[in-house]
Amino acid sequence: MDHPLAAASLPFTDPVGADPAGPAALVAAYPGPALRLADGLSIAEANAEAEEMLENDPRWFSDLQSWLSASSVAPGLRSVPIESARGIMIVEWAGVPLADGGFLLLGRDDTLERQLRHTLTESRRRYKDLVEVSSDFAWETGPDGTFVFVTHKGALGYDTDSLIGLDPRRLALEEWGDLPLPFDTHRPVDQSELWLKSADGTPACVVASALPLFGAQGEWLGARGVCRDVTDQVLRSAELARVRNRERLLAHIVHTLRDRLDAAEALTVAAAETARALSADGCRIYRAGEEGGLVLVAEFGAALPDSECAGGAQLAPMLDRIAASDGVVMDQIGELLLVGARTEHRQALNGTVLVWRADDSEPWDEEDRHLLSGVADHIGIAHAHLAYQERLRRLSERDGLTGLFNRRTFFERLEEALERTDSGPSALLYVDLDNFKAVNDLHGHQQGDTVLKAIGTLLSSGVRPGDLPGRLGGDEFVLWLGRADEAQARRVAERLLKGMAGLAHLSASPEKPLGLSIGIAVHVPGRGETVRELTDRSDAAMYAAKKSGKGHYALAPAHQPATQPANQPTATQPITLVETAP
């Protein structure tokens, strides 16, 4: 494209060119780009800066020509982009009509101002967009402390119209009195946390930052700031803290259960730790009984008061509800707030755990329920562990065939019984089967085992707490009768002998009937008799009964304490058949 100056074939005519104050002089002296156009909008004069612009980018001049040709008498201002060595620049042109029909064009570099204006506009738009899309809400209060501006989408469930003119203190959950809030602060506030009421009445936690507004005379004009709703974060943090605390308490209880080798002791400690962890007044742990129902196995803290609750009239139904429930059960009985949970192992009920507080204490909350539920899961495992330990103990203490105490356990228990000197006389019955070998020889060991089981049932039936029935091995049995005198021991021996009549069908033959030979030794505490001495006396009496014709019992003579000096043997007292009974 040809330079516009090349289109002027005739010399410029400047009727006012000789005038030092005319357009030609103004073009030459103008500090920015300047042009004088003739009547046909051709270039009559151009200063050096305008000529440089035309050389770099002549396209802008045609835009000015179109503008001037369509303009009225006073065209005004026109901004056009011009490509220069420094990049695109914006030049604002002022068109002034001349008397000869031409125009005077004076340009001003508007690039920097335009950029600043654009940057400011973009900054405002960016701030507006960020405020509108963020979870924060911006606000401003006036001199009276009420809202005069709130983000257009409102806040905390309120729309903007509901908040404008509202005193922010009406949103506060707590009574602040004269304490300043971010909304009426007289000093900068940064990340201040406060709780407000949402439109639906629920609490909302916000973090506020604010700046006070002051007038020229220093008077307070209000405050301006932003609030961010952090309710979800606070609740999540609180829940996380509760979960961590629950896990810490639960881990402590679990470690307590695991660190105790004895499961019964572990349950006792667990009851104490559960009560402390739940700030309860007391705790009870029940275990499912072998014949149904619940058995109290551990208790800690304040006992249930002596009332209907303690008597079970009201407590029993609650325990039944706990056992039948899949979750945690809460109830109030009298002045107690109770909460309980069932315990399980392999999805089968094996007990319950129950804790309580006085009704003037804090009520049970969801956190308490979660903690008790977690405790119940591990107590269920402890119940199973206890059952397993009891089974192992039974296997180690009992004879596998008859269920009676085995030799080792019987003599351990007998040793403990003889150490108790505060009791009266007791008796040891040494029992031996008559004609048992014939059963094995004629009918086999399976029939023999049947006989031994029947003898075990005979010995264990009718026993009292403190009595110890045992099998020493083979066809030899023992029965310790705690707190029994000679007369009582004889009655028991007679009962055993009569009981053998019901086992006659298990005999090898009528010629060799099953029977019992029983030796009775009465023990009197305080005479220094040992387990070995007592056993020897009852054993000797049993042999005396067997020699008398079997199917009898005999009473051993009383124990005679040794009076000889040490290292001198005591004379053996002969066994006398005191009494026999058919």
425-437 confidence digits (pLDDT tens) = 999 999 999 999 9
Residue 335, domain member (yes or no): yes
The pLDDT of residue 560:
83
The H-assigned helical ranges of 30-110 are 48-56, 59-69
Residue 1 has pLDDT above 50, yes or no: no
Co-location of 246 and 365 in the same domain? yes
Residue 348: Cβ within 10 Å count: 9
- 3-class DSSP assignment, residue 284: strand
Residue 565, domain member (yes or no): no
Binning pLDDT at 50, 70 and 90, where does residue 359 land? confident
- Distance, in Å, from the CA atom of 62 to the CA atom of 41, rounded to the nearest integer, reads 10
Write the burial class of residue 14 (CB in 10 Å: 0-12 exposed, 13-18 middle, 19+ buried).
middle
Binning pLDDT at 50, 70 and 90, where does residue 7 land? very low
Binning pLDDT at 50, 70 and 90, where does residue 580 land? very low
510: enclosing H helix or E strand? none
- Distance, in Å, from the CA atom of 579 to the CA atom of 414, rounded to the nearest integer, reads 25
Q: How many helices (H) and strands (E) does the chain have?
A: 15, 20
What does the buried/exposed string (b/e) look like for 250-265 if buried means 16 or more CB atoms within 10 Å of the residue's CB? beebbebbeebeebee
Residue 314 has pLDDT above 50, yes or no: yes
Share of the chain above pLDDT 70, in %: 86
Number of domains within the chain = 4
Co-location of 384 and 338 in the same domain? yes
Co-location of 40 and 168 in the same domain? no
Residue 432: Cβ within 10 Å count: 22
Residue 32, domain member (yes or no): yes
The pLDDT of residue 13:
41
Domain end marker among 357, 392, 427: 392
Using alpha carbons, list the distances in angstroms from residue 112 to 80, 108, 125, 567: 14, 11, 20, 126
Residue 96: Cβ within 10 Å count: 14
Co-location of 187 and 248 in the same domain? no
Residue 305 has pLDDT above 70, yes or no: no
Phi/psi for 397 (5° steps) reads -95, -25
| pLDDT per position as a tens digit, 52-81 | 888 888 888 988 888 888 876 667 788 888
Residue 582, domain member (yes or no): no
C-alpha angle 73/79/81, rounded to 5°? 140
Residue 342, domain member (yes or no): yes
Residue 29 has pLDDT above 50, yes or no: yes
Residue 426 CA to chain centroid, in angstroms? 56
Residue 294, domain member (yes or no): yes
Q: Which residues lie across from 183 on neighbouring strands? A: none
Maximum average pLDDT range among 24-28, 360-364, 399-403, 467-471: 467-471
In the DSSP assignment, the letter for residue 513 is -
Q: Which residues lie across from 405 on neighbouring strands? A: 398, 470
Residue 291 has pLDDT above 80, yes or no: no
CATH code at 181? Answer: 3.30.450.20
- Distance, in Å, from the CA atom of 160 to the CA atom of 152, rounded to the nearest integer, reads 6
Co-location of 272 and 225 in the same domain? no
End-to-end Cα, the chain, rounded Å: 149
Residue 340 contacts residue 355 (beta carbons within 8 Å): yes
The pLDDT of residue 5:
33
Binning pLDDT at 50, 70 and 90, where does residue 514 land? very high
Closest CA to 519 of 472, 483, 561: 472
Instruction: Say which residue the tokens 């979800």 belong to.
Output: 232
Write the burial class of residue 149 (CB in 10 Å: 0-12 exposed, 13-18 middle, 19+ buried).
middle
Co-location of 89 and 160 in the same domain? no
Closest CA to 64 of 94, 87, 97: 94
Share of the chain above pLDDT 90, in %: 31
Co-location of 170 and 188 in the same domain? yes
Q: Which residues lie across from 430 on neighbouring strands? A: 478, 519
- Distance, in Å, from the CA atom of 404 to the CA atom of 415, rounded to the nearest integer, reads 17
Co-location of 89 and 187 in the same domain? no
Residue 128, domain member (yes or no): no
Tell me the average pLDDT of the chain.
83
Co-location of 33 and 100 in the same domain? yes
What does the buried/exposed string (b/e) look like for 571-580 if buried means 16 or more CB atoms within 10 Å of the residue's CB? eeeebeebee
- Distance, in Å, from the CA atom of 238 to the CA atom of 535, rounded to the nearest integer, reads 69
The H-assigned helical ranges of 6-165 are 23-29, 48-56, 59-69, 111-133, 160-163
Using alpha carbons, list the distances in angstroms from residue 464 to 459, 491, 492: 11, 14, 12
Co-location of 248 and 215 in the same domain? no
Closest CA to 94 of 109, 113, 70, 75: 75
Co-location of 461 and 490 in the same domain? yes
Range of the structural domain that residue 534 is part of: 407-555
Task: Work out the average pLDDT over 143-161.
Answer: 89
Co-location of 157 and 89 in the same domain? no
Instruction: Say which residue the tokens 């509108």 belong to.
Output: 132
In the DSSP assignment, the letter for residue 359 is T
Tell me the residue type at 45: E
Residue 472 contacts residue 424 (beta carbons within 8 Å): no
Q: Which of 260-274, 424-438, 469-483 has the lowest mean pLDDT?
A: 260-274
User: Residues, the chain, total?
Assistant: 582
Q: Is the pTM of this model over 0.75?
A: no
CATH code at 356? Answer: 3.30.450.40
Residue 500 contacts residue 514 (beta carbons within 8 Å): yes
- Distance, in Å, from the CA atom of 182 to the CA atom of 226, rounded to the nearest integer, reads 9
- Distance, in Å, from the CA atom of 218 to the CA atom of 184, rounded to the nearest integer, reads 15
Closest CA to 511 of 442, 461, 417: 442
Residue 333 has pLDDT above 80, yes or no: yes
Domain end marker among 367, 392, 417: 392
